[in-house]
Amino acid sequence: MVEQPTRTDFMDGDMRRVWDDLGPMPGDLRLYGGTALALYRNHRASTDFDFVTPIPGVVHLDFVHSIPYFEVRNAVGGIGMVDAEIVGRHRP
């Protein structure tokens, strides 16, 4: 069983709202990088979310597009990766 991340004290208010808005992720999508380490080990501060999937060619932009109050800009796909800028929109 995978330990669930619990350390969110390093997040500022905006980052915490994004984290709370993410909700359930597709089963093969994993949080990766500095934010993952910070969430599990309080290893350092981080300001972005990096997600990966082990399945070649799978891009979860549908998941990204489903996040409330956010839009995707500048999505660039490569071999085994997608880099996308996600920008917040005004909340009502």
DSSP letter string, 62-90:
HHHHTSTTEEEEEEEEETTEEEEEEEE--
Higher pLDDT: 90 or 23? It is 23
Q: What are the extents of the domains in the chain?
A: 13-88
- pLDDT above 60 (res 74): yes
Taking only the tens place, the pLDDT of each residue in 2-56 is 455 667 887 888 778 777 777 677 777 777 778 888 887 776 777 777 777 777 6
Structure-model confidence comparison of residues 75 and 12, the more confident one? 12
Q: What pLDDT, on the 0 to 100 scale, is given for residue 1?
A: 43
Per-residue pLDDT, 86: 62
Neighbours of 51 (CB within 10 A): 19
Mean pLDDT calculated for residue range 49-77: 67
Residue 36, classed as helix, strand or coil, is helix
